[in-house]
Amino acid sequence: MAHGRAAALTLGPGRDKSLRQRHPWIWSGAVARVDGSPAAGDTVVVRAHDGAFLAWAAYSPASQLRARVWTFDDEPVDEAFFARRIGASVRRRAALLDAEHTACRLVHGESDGLPGVVADRYGDLVVVQLTAAGAERWRDPLVDLLVGATGATAVVERSDADVRALEGLAPRTGVLRGAVDGPVAIVEDGLAYRVDALAGQKTGFYLDQRDNRRRVRDLARGRDVLNAFCYTGGYTLAAHAGGAASSVSIDSSAEAIGLARSNLAANPSIRAADASWRTADVFTELRKLRDHARRFGLIVLDPPKFAPTAAHAARAARAYKDINLLALKLLEPGGLLATFSCSGGVSAELFRKIVAGAAVDANVDAAVIAPLAASADHPVSLAFPEGEYLKGLLVERR
């Protein structure tokens, strides 16, 4: 392909190693020279210091992450390119959608070869989240291609993640295609949920926890369950569907608790007379439960992102240790703790050390039964380990 008129990034000596290993990010410090005058989101050719072709990438002058690779092949980056990438991503998830499962992630950013592009399916609705300058540049064609690949009747944009500010992009939200009148109905593992795609957390539902909700459902029979940071009740419904004896679910959002209650009510087959809901600060409520000597057979800790970057890791570590220490004290012997971190700034190794430290401080003997991770619709490219943002542990108190 001819590169003559394309703007180009030339990397410094020795700064091409990660690209040759197919890592899709180019930091500003790796760029020795910019030829041409590329605007935010423009496609640029990336060359090694000796002039060798490396990739085509989306340029982002406002960000320290100066470019994100669209392709390592020398091919046109045009609408046909995006049609191939989106079509492949949707086809890869086809087996994850059926009558019992009507929601899943369709496009997972870099791990699907579409940096800065997230698309989630909720029945006939697709929710898109664009977090990078290149994705923003191709916004309208991407939306049209997603509609074409899925047959969706409505599209909502939830490009309101904080990381957009690092790209010099303002938040954008709203209905882009069709009409959305309130929460949309989905089915997961045969359970009915309503999802607030316009104002809920992330794109409306924690799709990445699908496999882990199934795991909790399989483990819940006869147990008293505590669901901390319960959001719209996914783990609570799963636990009661699995035969939990009782549940206490806590979240600071009254709106989330309201939707959680209605989700439970929408599943009359679930016997959940002993489900209680508390709108409260989770840290404070866990301490109250400890002070009242409550005990639970199964506890889920799925907190929000405490550390968006590594710079926040120390502060986040204290918060993670605090809630895990409290949870381990609330766990009865033989009880199980499913604990998670979705913080990109906290590695799996660090998270395990935090939970281990919490067990020491709680003076309990505990063991990891299994690692927990995001569901199959959130793949992690082997060339992009940063994509593994969700870390979890299933811990048994001995």
Q: Report the catalytic residues.
A: 342
Asked if 128 and 156 touch (Cβ cutoff 8 Å), the reply is: yes
- The closest alpha carbon to 278, from 297, 260, 264, belongs to 260
Give the E-state strand segments of 267-382 in sequence order. 275-279, 296-301, 331-341, 366-372
Q: Rounded CA gap, 326 and 309, in Å?
A: 25
| Helices and strands, number each (H, E), in the chain | 10, 20
Residues 6 or more apart from 78 whose CB is under 8 A from it?
none
* Axis-axis angle for helices 234-241, 210-219 (nearest 10): 40
Q: What percent of the residues of the chain are helix, what percent strand, and what percent coil, each to the nearest 5? A: 35, 30, 35
Instruction: Return the structure tokens found at 295.
Output: 């005990």
